[in-house]
A and B are shown apart, each in its own frame.
Chain A
Amino acid sequence: MSSIHNDDPNPNQEPTHEADVPPDPIFVIHRAAMREMDEPRDGAEPTPVSYILLCFAALMWGGWYIGTYAGTWSADGLAERATAGAAITAPAQNPMELGKEVFGVCVQCHQENGRGVPENYPPLAGSEYVLGDKRKLAALVLRGLGGDVTVAGKHFNSQMPAWDNRDDEEIAAVLTYIRNSWGNKADPLSKEFVAAVRKETEGKGEWRPASLDAFAATPPPAAPVAAPPTAATPQAQTK
């Protein structure tokens, strides 16, 4: 089992053992174990005091963090600071921007380009539902719509969920957004207008095309929301 091939050009490497090898079979067989260094040992360099102080500083940071961000130490103490979670008031957003953000959910069916999915989900671009009566549109989005509808000359039969879990501002923004994107052009909706429709349609379940048309045909309750078209600005001031 001795070397039959030793053409290692590197002079730094082990010179052939042949000469120094004592005739010990264990030695011959375990050449690699022979040339090993001793088993590792521990050195005894001291740890610098400054380093120990740094470790203590880290520990103190840990203590501070636990003290500050541990919330109430209970199963429903979800906020990490007792003071947090009070009023998070976001600055008012441009309705078109907010609308685009909210539309992020609608893209599942109506797609980012507003063209829908052929035969399944109607387009919003050029849709008479989107560009037509605002009250009908808001009622549709708030309460959902099922059944056979015709949009832009094509038939669709699917189900639009009710979006009553979104707040008035979001609904107003997303409707404003879809009425003014992909070549659509129509006047904006205010959140007060949406709030009024929400109140008016309270308790009404999912629309069918016929019941939605019937709703649109009835005049809106007169008193509070009389001025839809340009109402956005003055009403926003009062609120």
Chain B
Amino acid sequence: MVADTKAGVVKGAPSDYEFRVEVDRSSKQVIVLYWAAALFWLTVASIAGIISSIKLHNPGFLGGIEWLTFGRVRAVHWDTAIYGFGGVAASGTLLWLQARLCQVRMPYTKLLIAGGLVFNVGILVGVVGILMGQSTGVETLEFPLYAMPFLVVPYVFIVIANFTMYFKKKSSHTYVSQWYLMAVTVWFPVLVLSAEACTNLGAVDGVAQAIANWWYGHNVVGLFATPTGIAAAYYLIPKVIGKPIHSYHLSLLGFWSNAIFYNWAGTHHLTGGPLPAWTITLGVVGSMMMFIPVITIGINHHMTMLGSFHLLKTSPTLRFAVMGSMLYTVSSFQGALEALRSHQEITHFTHYTIGHVHLGMYGFFAPLMFAMMYYAMPRLMNREWSSARLIRIHFWCTLVGTLLYGGAMCYAGIRQGMMMNDPSIPFLNIVQWTIPFLMSRTLAGLILLSGTVAFLINFVRIVTPHKLTWATPTMLDSDRDWKQILEAEKEAKPQHE
């Protein structure tokens, strides 16, 4: 955002600022509601994750209470993380980006607000259902069927709003972020409806259901969270540093190869299982082919950033966005290799997969959502972030927590897998061996939660009305701090009243 200021000073007001103001005013309520809800669910998901993590190295923790048993809290953790945080944050991101890139006012704001509220009620209903033991038992689709209308109907509103904006857009050009956003709104409904039909509505049985389940389970990350994250990166990186994206052709190659290959990858979650070989083979190839989009998108982002890396020192948005983009490359490489049969022989069924999921979700997707919020919230609220220190805490907690989590779980998973493949080692010895790593996972979870709390404080502060404001953006190297604000406010009050 250093560069931002230059734009303001050197070039004077950018020609198109008026539409931004209009767009931001029209979308403010919707987006702030969605992101606030997303952060709420992120906190819930983190707490549920930490509880289930503690239960794995300390099974007596909150033991003997049926609604808090591991199998339920663990399901609540993933579902609130993917639908509560992921779904709601991504929907907010989608609507804001689309409004800005189409240069149109947010349509149907009342409907979207009502929809957002209903969606959150739906997640709450689902969570309570799972805790009461009414999980469907299908991984990633655990929410009981009665929660589904609450989730499906609001999403239809989002899809409609998205298309309305797209068809009203001012420019004839469609920016690369928009391709991904359009794709999400087509893919996600098809995914959810087909997968629900196949599993919980019982269109297919047995192993065919397992395939549908994992086709969905992989794609909900790959065709929902990932494209939204990439769209955010494609928007934020050039936006903050003020350079065009490196290559339109690479964008094109990255988008279409991602679209073609990703949705075939899911069956690698069942490698070695009772499936026809060809289904798994297609999954392995789909995963390995992901090298093409991942490298392409990586090159595109990296070449755009080249020469602007010094801005990482000051811009919170850029720092989170670049962290997300880099870990996108890392976790996608890992994911592609992980699909190979020889790799799966060891790491399948182990903590390695869990480590990989967190590297992807908390190393790539979540930072990009945070970057979106860091960028957009000051514009939506017309207030600056109140504490640079809290942003720094948030960033370092996110980075260290994710790397600790991913590192510990992936290492533990490889060793665990090798030991499980050696039948002379008793199973319980392996369980015991993993315990120190499970403890470091709890630690990583606590670090991540601390970061979230720091962000929450800043978020509450920027949302709640207060008189104090700054003329300049809050940069990472400023010493704006929580205490300062309180003091300043104390001093400021008598003068104003």
Contact = CB atoms under 8 A, between A and B. Distances in A.
User: Do A and B have CB atoms closer than 8 angstroms in the complex?
Assistant: yes
A80 B280 contact: yes
Interface residues of A, number: 64
Contacts of A35: 1, 4-5, 7-8, 473
B166 interface: no
Contact of A30 (B7, B24, B234, B285): B24
Given A33-B17, A36-B4, A39-B239, A76 B250 contact: no
Chain B's interface: helix, strand, loop or mixed, by majority? helix
A44 B248 CA distance: 5
Interface string B439-469: 0000000000000000000000000000111
B277 A78 contact: yes
Given A20-B9, A35-B8, A44 B278 contact: no
Contacts, number: 223
B470 interface: yes
Nearest to B25: A30
Contacts of B8: 14, 17, 34-36
Interface stretch (B34-42, B392-400, B421-429): B421-429
Given A4-B467, A36-B4, A36-B7, A107 B426 contact: yes
Contacts of B2: 12-13
A78 B238 contact: no
Contacts of B251: 42
Contacts of A10: 314, 475, 477-478
B358 interface: no
Contacts of B241: 37
B426 A104 contact: yes
Interface string A1-35: 11111101110111111101000001101111111
B239 A104 contact: no
B245 interface: yes
Nearest to A78: B277
A97 B425 CA distance: 11
A107 B430 CA distance: 14
A231 to B, nearest CB: 27
Given A29-B21, A37-B240, A37-B241, 13 more contacts: A14-B4, A16-B472, A27-B13, A32-B384, A35-B8, A39-B175, A40-B175, A43-B246, A58-B288, A66-B282, A71-B281, A78-B274, A80-B341
23 contacts: A6-B472, A9-B478, A14-B9, A18-B471, A20-B12, A27-B13, A30-B20, A30-B24, A32-B382, A33-B24, A35-B1, A35-B4, A37-B238, A37-B241, A38-B7, A42-B248, A43-B245, A45-B247, A45-B303, A47-B250, A58-B292, A66-B281, A80-B341
Interface of A: 1-6, 8-10, 12-18, 20, 26-27, 29-47, 51, 55, 58-59, 61-62, 65-66, 69-80, 97, 100-101, 104, 107, 112
